[in-house]
């Protein structure tokens, strides 16, 4: 069977190992999953209430326009519903914008390492990913990225905070960067972890959108809102662009339960505040424990921590699995660990100590 030449060299996306898979493989029941940056508190009660109400309508197709969710978002964001697009997770919107704008011969600029879907979506569209290494402190090198833009560039992807490092692009450097962007290039700001950021220098990208800069802002309900299992995210962008993206978007791409759950989640800002406070507190706990263990880590503005080791981490990953702790390798010597509850974080630290002792790196 013949397949597209564009996908031959693409490696399938490998998600964090599911709890159920580890249960099947090793028969372990008490499992801590710190691999996929999910909210350990789960969804809000208001979201769950809306889901229960929505169950009776499952025999009907969902609202293809996501009218009520757009209405709620537009009220909160101060923009028009026509400046919003809803996706089956913001991940789908990355795929849609790539299919909308990219053609063979085009290129898209992105950082390395960053979210792997940017490169995948670019290649699937037949275009070329141009990957710019992060700086020494694991941040986007915006000036180098701007310098890599050519006549063939159509998109610049920026994860802010960046996945897997948790670092951010700050306001002053972002302002300089946006002034260098030519009119034929769209800047896609992936802000999946937007709500976790505490740095006051974090750029409020919606202001750039209001001022007419070529920008598409992507956010999600999968992280702080705890709705990862329902797959729903949204984009903020110019009407003209969104009209074209809607031509590519699948009909009924967002299920009805996801839509009502997202509305309920937006109305429960107390849950958001609790989730953010838990993350702040447990981040400090993990920082202190990692310093005691002399583990090299990158300070984060997200709900995960990027760590580097003086040895290859595949064996460490397997050891953790055998202890019922799921983490995420993101390089030969690097892992990414979700910030969980205190109980979950202690499980991770204790398992890590045992692995370090085996290597005579901790006493």
| CATH number of the CATH domain containing 258 | 3.40.640.10
The C-alpha atoms of residue 231 and residue 47 are separated, in whole angstroms, by: 14
Question: What is the pLDDT at residue 13?
Answer: 77
Q: Are residues 287 and 322 in the same domain?
A: yes
Asked whether residue 16 falls in the same domain as residue 52, the answer is: no
pLDDT recorded at residue 262: 98
- Boundary-marking domain end, from 233, 267, 301: 267
Domain of residue 178: give its range. Answer: 46-267
Q: Which positions of the chain have pLDDT values less than 70?
A: 1-2
Q: Are residues 234 and 320 in the same domain?
A: no
- Asked if 90 and 162 sit in the same domain, the reply is yes
- Mean residue pLDDT of the chain comes to 96
Cβ atoms within 10 A of the Cβ of 264, count? 24
Q: What is the pLDDT of residue 15?
A: 80
Q: State the pLDDT at residue 2.
A: 66
Q: Do residues 102 and 246 both lie within one domain?
A: yes
| Each residue's pLDDT tens digit, 273-319 | 999 999 999 999 999 999 999 999 999 999 999 999 999 999 999 99
* pTM of the predicted structure, to 2 decimals: 0.96
| pLDDT score at 296 | 97
Domain identity same for 75 and 181: yes
State pLDDT tens for residues 52-62: 999 999 999 99
| Any domain includes 27 | yes
Domains contained in the chain, number: 2
Burial 282-309 (b: 16+ CB within 10 A, else e): bbeebeebbeeeebebbebbbbbbbbeb
Q: What is the pLDDT of residue 11?
A: 79
Give the end of a domain, one of 267, 283, 315: 267
Task: Output DSSP code: residue 252.
Answer: T
Q: In CATH, what number is assigned to the domain containing residue 306?
A: 3.90.1150.10
Domain boundary among 267, 295, 330: 267
**What span, in angstroms and rounded, lies between the C-alpha atoms of 122 and 98?**
6
């Amino acid at each position: 069977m013949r397949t597209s030449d564009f996908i031959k060299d693409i490696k399938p996306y490998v998600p964090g190992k599911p709890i159920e898979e580890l249960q099947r493989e090793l028969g372990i029941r008490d499992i801590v999953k710190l691999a996929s940056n999910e909210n350990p508190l789960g969804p809000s009660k208001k979201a769950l209430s809306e889901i229960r109400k929505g169950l009776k309508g499952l025999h009907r197709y969902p609202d293809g326009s996501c009218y009520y969710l757009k209405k709620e978002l537009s009220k909160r964001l101060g923009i028009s519903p026509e400046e919003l697009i809803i996706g089956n997770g913001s991940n789908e919107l990355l795929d849609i914008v790539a299919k909308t704008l990219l053609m063979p011969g085009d290129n898209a600029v992105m950082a390395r390492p960053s979210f792997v879907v940017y490169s995948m979506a670019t290649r699937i569209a037949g275009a070329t990913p141009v990957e710019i290494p992060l700086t020494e402190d694991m941040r986007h090198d915006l000036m180098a990225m701007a310098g890599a833009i050519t006549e063939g560039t159509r998109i610049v992807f920026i994860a802010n905070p960046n996945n897997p490092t948790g670092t951010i692009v700050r306001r002053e450097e972002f302002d300089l960067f946006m002034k260098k962007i030519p009119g034929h290039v769209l800047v896609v700001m992936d802000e999946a972890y937007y709500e976790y950021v505490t740095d006051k220098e974090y750029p409020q990208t919606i202001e750039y959108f209001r001022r007419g800069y070529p920008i598409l802002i992507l956010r999600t309900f999968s992280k702080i809102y705890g709705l990862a299992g329902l797959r729903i995210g949204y984009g903020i962008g110019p009407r003209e662009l969104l009209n074209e993206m809607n031509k590519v978007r699948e009909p009924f791409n967002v299920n009805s339960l996801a839509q009502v759950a997202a509305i309920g989640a937006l109305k429960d800002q107390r849950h958001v505040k609790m989730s953010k406070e838990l993350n702040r507190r447990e981040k400090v706990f993990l920082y202190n424990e990692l310093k005691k263990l002399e583990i090299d880590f990158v300070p984060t503005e997200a709900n995960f921590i990027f760590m580097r080791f003086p040895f290859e981490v595949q064996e460490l990953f397997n050891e953790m699995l055998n202890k019922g702790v799921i983490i995420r390798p993101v390089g030969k010597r690097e892992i990414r660990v979700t910030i969980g509850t205190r109980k979950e974080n202690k499980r991770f630290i204790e398992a890590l100590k045992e692995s370090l002792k085996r290597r005579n790196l901790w006493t």
